[in-house]
């Protein structure tokens, strides 16, 4: 049973229209989800200027976390995967520790949630699909490998004009282009591209776990908040015991 007072806080990039509706869909009964927009300028959803936007969001996280803590959530999530690719493994770990201590509320990242989810599922080899350009796809691959995850194939979606205009159907096509023969699971990176409606159909089709940044961060947030309610229809990760 979930606690009716369970609150989850998410820090969302300023132009992202995807995360709020997806988190509302994933929240079990008795769990409320709350959002604060992070600080970044430039052309949102574009491949151009990604590093500058990431650095701006990271630089303002202290104030964002303090503001979100006023809601008294059980956990605060940085709902942006690529910011972890900017940080690197050590800086990300230091950030998580510092911001958790700052308010006393556990602070987690979307990427850290993916690593926790893969460990929970006993997965060490994955295929990766992203909505990024080739440079950021390579950086994501390197970050996964720095955490001991073997990436057997990594590909990015072609002809992306704006990540936030993408669809679950395009995400499914991307996954189908991956070489998954040696993979134990598929990971769709990024919370801007809609993925929820692709997860269960792809699992059924491929016969392996398929998770995204979105499903992993909700799973991890619920786990840390002590909520054990299964969330069916979005892949095995959200239906297993936490």
CATH class of residue range 6-111+214-238: alpha beta
CA 70/CA 103 separation, integer angstroms: 10
Q: Which neighbouring-strand residues pair with 53?
A: none
Q: Collapsing DSSP states into helix, strand and coil, what is residue 118?
A: helix
Residues 78-133: tens digit of each pLDDT = 999 999 999 999 999 999 999 999 999 999 999 999 999 999 999 999 999 999 99
User: What pLDDT is stored for residue 2 in this prediction?
Assistant: 45
The alpha carbons of the chain give a radius of gyration, in whole angstroms, of 16
CATH topology identical between 6-111+214-238 and 113-213: yes
Question: CA 98 to CA 51: how far, in whole Å?
Answer: 22
Helix-strand-coil split of the chain, %, nearest 5 = 45, 15, 35
* φ/ψ (deg, to 5) at 211: -130, 160
Q: What is the pLDDT of residue 188?
A: 98
Distance (Å, rounded) from C-alpha 74 to C-alpha 52? Answer: 30
pLDDT, residue 4, reads 57
CA distance between the termini of the chain: 13
Ranges of residues in the chain whose predicted pLDDT is under 50: 1-3
Report how far residue 69's alpha carbon sits from residue 188's, in angstroms, rounded to the nearest whole number. 29
> Which of 71, 3, 10 lies closest to 37, judged by CA?
10
pLDDT of residue 131: 95
pLDDT at site 13: 95
Task: Tell me what the pLDDT averaged over the chain comes to.
Answer: 95
Given this model, what pLDDT does residue 178 score? 98
Domain ranges of the chain: 6-111+214-238, 113-213
Helices within the chain (DSSP H only) = 19-26, 50-59, 61-69, 82-87, 89-103, 110-121, 134-146, 168-177, 196-206, 213-225
CATH topology for the 113-213 domain:
Rossmann fold (3.40.50)
pTM as predicted: 0.95
């Amino acid at each position: 049973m979930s606690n009716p007072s369970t609150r989850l806080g998410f820090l969302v990039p300023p132009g992202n229209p995807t995360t709020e509706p997806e988190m509302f869909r994933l929240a079990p009964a008795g769990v409320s989800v709350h959002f604060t927009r992070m600080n970044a300028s430039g052309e949102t959803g574009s491949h151009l200027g990604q590093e500058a936007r990431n650095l701006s969001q990271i630089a303002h996280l202290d104030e964002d976390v303090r503001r979100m803590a006023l809601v008294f959530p059980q956990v605060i999530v940085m709902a942006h995967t690529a910011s972890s690719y900017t940080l690197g493994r050590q800086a990300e770990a230091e950030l998580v520790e510092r911001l958790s201590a700052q308010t006393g509320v556990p602070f987690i990242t979307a990427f850290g949630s993916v690593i926790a989810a893969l460990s929970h599922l006993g997965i060490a080899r994955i295929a990766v699909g992203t909505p990024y350009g080739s440079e950021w796809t390579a950086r994501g691959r390197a970050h996964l490998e720095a955490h001991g995850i073997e990436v057997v194939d990594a590909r990015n979606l072609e002809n992306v004009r704006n990540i936030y205009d993408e669809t679950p159907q395009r995400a499914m096509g991307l996954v189908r282009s991956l070489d998954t023969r040696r993979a134990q699971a598929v990971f769709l990176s990024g919370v801007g591209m809609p993925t929820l409606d692709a997860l269960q159909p792809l699992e059924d089709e491929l016969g392996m776990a398929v998770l995204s940044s979105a499903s992993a961060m909700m799973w991890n947030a619920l786990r840390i908040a002590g909520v054990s309610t299964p969330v069916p229809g979005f892949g095995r990760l959200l239906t297993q015991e936490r």
